[in-house]
Amino acid sequence: MQIPFNKPYMTGKETQYIEQAVNSGKISGNGLFTKKCQDFFENKYGFIKCLLTTSCTDALEMAAILLNIKQGDEVIMPSFTFVSTANAFVLRGAKIIFADSKKDHPNIDENLLESLITPKTKAIVVVHYAGVACEMDTIMSLAKKHNIYVVEDAAQAIDSFYKGKPLGSIGHLSAFSFHETKNIQCGEGGMLAINDEQFKERAEIIWEKGTNRSAFFRGEVNKYGWVDIGSSFLPSEISAAFLWAQLESLDKIQNKRKEIYKHYQNELKSLEKVGVCLPKIFDYESNNAHMFYFVCNSLEERTGLIKFLGESKIHTVFHYLSLHKSPYFNNQYVGEELIHSDNFTSKLVRLPLFFELNNEMLYKITNQIKLFYEK
Ligand SMILES: Cc1ncc(COP(=O)(O)O)c(C=O)c1O
């Protein structure tokens, strides 16, 4: 029995809704299913406006355009994140200022931020790692004090909360991913959520290639044309129809993922005795069971564990590689050592977590992990 790291879950309704989209004769973007999905997110999580995109990467690129990021503007973010978090701002000419993670969690250490802020700082991008919230009260009050924007990279954070507030609803802008590895997915997909009225109108223009086509279709202008910069950020109705099927099953998917997470948490608790650090969830936040990871004692231990599990046909993976040490950025980096980011880079391992993981598979995984540590 091969246990993959991920298996995208299909609710069974996806093809039915795709067929509906095809039969409607309207399969380009911004149609009925796009609207259904956007309304769902706005109503459930209270975002002022949502725009589906073809990826979280696209949503981050839209955020960078919306914030008017220009050559030399500084943007603070964690080094322990996916390439797109930084690349979206680099494309606009930003200078990336990497901050370290917390000692006990991959999220950005909010206590380091003030010392990194300069008159050139335009934005802080936080990443809610594994769907677990960054310390948003501190971050938002710092941003207010220094008049800078906050973007939430909520790629992994759908249906997760910070002191009761949905993640993605706290910063000025936020970006979600519906890539097939995420809780809710449509293969490749994403969304920009807007929480500040000033960005509402322009976001729609950027989304539609720099044109006011959306306003035209609403009958607000009698012709549409080129009014700003933008790109083709919107997904087709095929993707939106797929996503709608997933959204209808959001609670079912989340409940199942939380059960799997609980299994890992209970079964692996004993590993703390051998120095393994299990994921930390702070009192003020919820857990959307996006990911189950733990931090090994060393790189060698992690390499051995992944190999051992692989021999039992269990696929486990690691990520991210500190961006400040990446081949692209390495030569530009001038800051301090980011020891916690590097620590997670070399010691963090992710376990399979997908809807169809059954008890037999789960016990096989946790028993094999325990066996590795008994050896
Ligand atoms: C933190 C973070 N940001 C952005 C992305 C990019 O998401 P997408 O593949 O939807 O562009 C990812 C991908 O996993 C991610 O983990």
Tens digits of residue pLDDT in 90-100:
999 999 999 99
Residue 133 pLDDT > 90, yes or no? yes
Pairing of strands 149-153, 121-127: parallel
**Cα–Cα distance measured from residue 327 to residue 323, given in angstroms and rounded to the nearest whole number:** 9
Average pLDDT over every residue of 106-120: 98
Q: Report CA(166)–ligand 1 centroid distance (Å).
A: 19
Cα 292 to chain center, whole Å? 15
Mean pLDDT of 150-154: 98
Give the rounded distance of the alpha carbon of 301 from its chain centre. 28
- Yes or no: say if 195 and 169 are a contact pair by the CB < 8 Å rule: yes
Going from the C-alpha of 234 to that of each of 34, 215, 229, 241, 303, the distances in angstroms are 9, 15, 15, 13, 40
Atom of ligand 1 at shortest range from CA of 60: 4
Centre a 10 Å sphere on the Cβ of residue 217 and count the other Cβ atoms it contains. Answer: 12
Question: Is 345 a residue whose pLDDT tops 90?
Answer: yes
Instruction: Give the residue whose CA is nearest to atom 7 of ligand 1.
Output: 56
Say whether pLDDT at 151 is over 90.
yes
Residue 191: φ, ψ to 5°: -160, 140
Cβ < 6 A, ligand 1 pocket? 55-57, 81-82, 84-85, 127, 153, 155-156, 177, 179, 190
Q: How far is the CA of 37 from the centre of ligand 1 (A)?
A: 19
Over the stretch 286-304, which tens digit does the pLDDT of each residue have? 899 999 999 999 999 999 9
- pLDDT value at residue 285: 75
Q: Which is nearest to 263 in space by CA: 356, 351, 330, 363? A: 363
- Residue holding tokens 């809710």? 184
- Residue range 38-47: mean pLDDT, rounded: 98
Q: What are the pLDDT digits (tens) for 308-327?
A: 999 999 999 999 999 999 99
Please state, rounded to an integer, the average pLDDT across all residues of the chain: 97
For the chain, give the longest Cα–Cα distance: 73
Give the pLDDT band (50/70/90) at residue 110. very high
pLDDT of 254-287, one tens digit each?
999 999 999 999 999 999 999 999 998 777 778 9
pLDDT at 50: 98
Q: What is the pLDDT of residue 261?
A: 96
pLDDT given at position 1: 82
The rounded radius of gyration (Å) of the Cα atoms in the chain is 21
Q: Best substitution site from 57, 125, 167, 318 to test ligand 1's pocket, by max atoms within 8 Å of Cβ?
A: 57
Rounded distance from Cα 219 to ligand 1 centre (Å): 35
Residue 68 has pLDDT above 80, yes or no: yes
